[in-house]
Every structure is written in C-alpha cells, then in structure tokens.
Amino acid sequence: MADKTELARRIYDTAHITGDFTLRSGAKSHEYFDKYLFEADPELLKHIAIFLVPLVPAGIDALAGLEMGGIPIATMLSQLTGLPLLFIRKKAKDYGTCKIAEGGLVKGRKLLIVEDVVTSGGAILDAAKALREEGAILGPVICVIDRESGGPEKLAEAKLELKPLFTMSELKKAGA
C-alpha cells in the first residue's frame, strides 16, 4: 500500500456499508464500518497493522487486544513489533483460569490497548477498569477507526489517550 490515503480508501471500499444499525453504545446509525470485513482480508489487515506501528510508543511491555475485533489487529501488530500480546475478554471466564486477560502477566506491565472501532469508548473503559484492577499500567489506546462520537473525550476522563489511525471523517473523505 503506497500511502495512508490509499489505505483509507481501501478500508472504506471494503468495510463501509449503509442501512439501519444500532451501535454498541446504543446509538443509531445509517452507516457502519464492518470491521470484520477488513480484519478478514489478510493483505488489508497487514497494511493496517503496518500503519499502526508508528502509533506504538516506546516503553510498552505488551499489547492488549480487546475481544473480539481488537484481537486480529493486535495479533498482526504483535508480529510486526515483536511485542507480546494479551487477549482481553469482555468478562472473565467463570471456569478454567477465570482470567480477564489471557496470554501472560498483567500486574506491573505497561499495556497498549488495541481496538478496532471506537464509538463511545465503552468497551475500552470496561477493559481499562479491569486491567487497572489487575495492576496494569495503561499507556495510550490505539484503534483503526474513531467514529467521532465522543470516544476520545470519554477516554480522556479516565486518563486514557486515544490515537486513531483514521477518523470517520477521514475515511468518508477518502471514499468520496
């Protein structure tokens, strides 16, 4: 992929759909970015991760991929950066290890949360609370798409900085 504009156009063409949708936040929308369409395309997923690498700050001990959409992105990013990966559940299992985070230790590690699409930031806030309770130190949060629906502001209230690869406006402009 030659540049970020080309990547934005490719994401838009692959994942932008229209109709009537209810978002995780409960908000209604007539357009939707079906992240699974871009995450299921190995070449597109690889290029997304390549462009996310510069958003990973120095000093991060591990990536924290959020269930379910953040996991493929974080996995590819782990391959490119060499950083270990934690798989973060929406809620801890009530059997087996009963962990919220699978794949390694949380306590005392500086984690970078990886998400696919952010609307209100609710899933990230839930994960951040659980990770902090486990003793994690949280760095910034990265995502592929910020829907520009209040997520960065909500995360800032919890002392989390969102670094999106693209905003919804940027993707729409690239797709126009």
d(C-alpha 124, C-alpha 130), whole Å: 10
DSSP state of 90: S
pTM for this predicted structure = 0.93
Q: Which domain holds residue 22?
A: 4-175
The tens digit of pLDDT for each residue in 47-95 reads 999 999 999 999 999 999 999 999 999 999 999 999 999 999 988 778 8
Tokens found for residue 23: 């978002």
| CATH number for the domain harbouring residue 98 | 3.40.50.2020
Query: Residue 24 above 90 pLDDT?
Result: no
- Average pLDDT along the chain: 94
At 1 the pLDDT is 63
| Alpha-helical regions (H) of the chain | 4-15, 35-39, 42-52, 70-81, 122-133, 151-157, 168-175
Q: How many domains does the chain have?
A: 1
The tens digit of pLDDT for each residue in 136-166 reads 999 999 999 999 999 999 999 999 999 999 9
- 143 in Cβ contact with 162 (< 8 Å): yes
